[in-house]
Amino acid sequence: MTEQKVIEEVLEFIWTQREIGNDSIDALLNINEIKEANADRETLKSLEHAGIAHIKGNKITLTSKGEKMAEATVRRHRLAERLLTEVLEIEEKNIEENACSFEHSLSPLVTDSICTLLGHPPTCPHGLPIPRGECCKKYKVEVSPLVQPLKDMEIGHKGRIVFIMPRSHSRLDRLASLGIVPGSIIKLHQKQPSFVIEIGETTLAIDYDITKEIYVRREK
């Protein structure tokens, strides 16, 4: 593994450890992937010397420079997981290993193109947040997305729900009670005067606003 890849791996795990409220160096160096990358305390000291991280006792934090680098690395990894899952349909047990290999080869341009293709997903397949990119802020569609809002699906077509971006948790719970959850297959019957969908053996009428929050991938 090259020095740059080792740095990216370490930054990624500093970020993911922070998500669970942990900034311990001992815990970081105990992670299997960090061990496999042969990263040690000297590696962390090199990050500090490069202005990427701060070390104080057993705690490590990122500088603004390190924050940007870690954010980009985490974004690439989690988008790679989405691509492998939603487009290439790789088995779940093989996702992590392949995403780790794939992420290091993605340029910023390719990363944004993948994000656009996938409809700017908010989370990875494990439910962890994907850092936003410029393409997400501008919502430019330069390629035809494989994942799109339900409102844009054609009448008569079927789609598998990939993710839902509700305005509130109560709405998410309400949708879940109706069987409208990621992985479910829905068929769009009509758009006017209201959206009517079929899910399983049930036919439902839903508000237009909700169709903007449900993202689907068309099923053949």
Q: Is residue 155 within 8 Å of residue 189, measured between CB atoms?
A: yes
Q: Which SS3 state, helix, strand or coil, does residue 214 take?
A: strand
Other C-beta atoms closer than 10 Å to the C-beta of 101 total: 11
Each residue of 135-181: pLDDT tens digit?
887 654 444 567 888 988 889 999 988 888 777 777 888 888 888 88
Other C-beta atoms closer than 10 Å to the C-beta of 189 total: 14
Structural fold of domain 147-219: SH3 type barrels. (2.30.30)
pTM of the model: 0.65
Residue 131's alpha-carbon distances to 27, 42, 56, in angstroms, are 24, 29, 27
Which residues have C-beta within 8 Å of that of residue 73, sequence separation ≥ 6?
A: 8, 11, 12, 15, 103
**pLDDT above 80 for 91:** no
- Residue ranges per structural domain of the chain: 3-62, 68-138, 147-219
Which listed CATH number (3.40.109.10, 1.10.10.10, 3.40.30.10, 3.40.50.300) goes with 68-138?
1.10.10.10
Mean residue pLDDT of the chain comes to 85
Which residues have C-beta within 8 Å of that of residue 16, sequence separation ≥ 6?
A: 74, 128
